[in-house]
Amino acid sequence: MKTLKILTLAIFTLMITSCSKSDDTVESETVIPPTTQELLQSGVWHIASKSGEITTQCLTQSYIKFVDEDTMLNEFFDTSGGICESTGLDIHQYNKIGNVININTPGDPVTLTIISITETELNIVVDESGGVVYTINFIKQ
């Protein structure tokens, strides 16, 4: 008899806990897409192509990295005498207003205009002082 009471109590407890209302409710999560700034800072952006230049394995080693909201790194590679060499790692301060990034480079300010950005691709127009304008397509690695 005591075993029957314990068994009945255990079954009743299981029925109560397995039939709660919270199990029937499906909560939907609102997914907030990353901001342009978050996408910029999400990785290292390597050159995939640059207008006016033949895309070489050496060129694709070139990259930019947005460290935070006002500091970026860039390192470009070029072939000299048949050898792919870094032209040096540069650190620049920048400010971003909308899709326009103004880079404070010594003597030659550079403006980047973001054409498009996704989790894996960045396409920009580069406007150097002196009227030199070209596009660069980056992929994130």
Residue 5 within a domain: no
Q: Is there a domain that residue 30 lies in?
A: no
Nearest-angstrom CA–CA distance, 55 and 41: 24
Is there a domain that residue 31 lies in?
no
Range of the domain at 62: 36-140
Per-residue DSSP letter, 61: G
Q: How many domains does the chain have?
A: 1
pTM of the predicted protein model: 0.76
Sign for the pseudo-dihedral over CA of 8, 10, 13, 18: negative
Task: Determine, yes or no, domain membership for 62.
Answer: yes
Q: What is the pLDDT along the chain (141 residues), one digit of tens a residue?
A: 555 455 454 455 555 555 555 555 667 889 999 999 999 999 999 999 999 999 999 999 999 999 999 999 999 999 989 999 999 999 999 999 999 999 988 778 899 999 999 999 999 999 987 788 999 999 998
In a domain, residue 129? The reply is yes
CATH of the domain at 59: 2.40.128.20
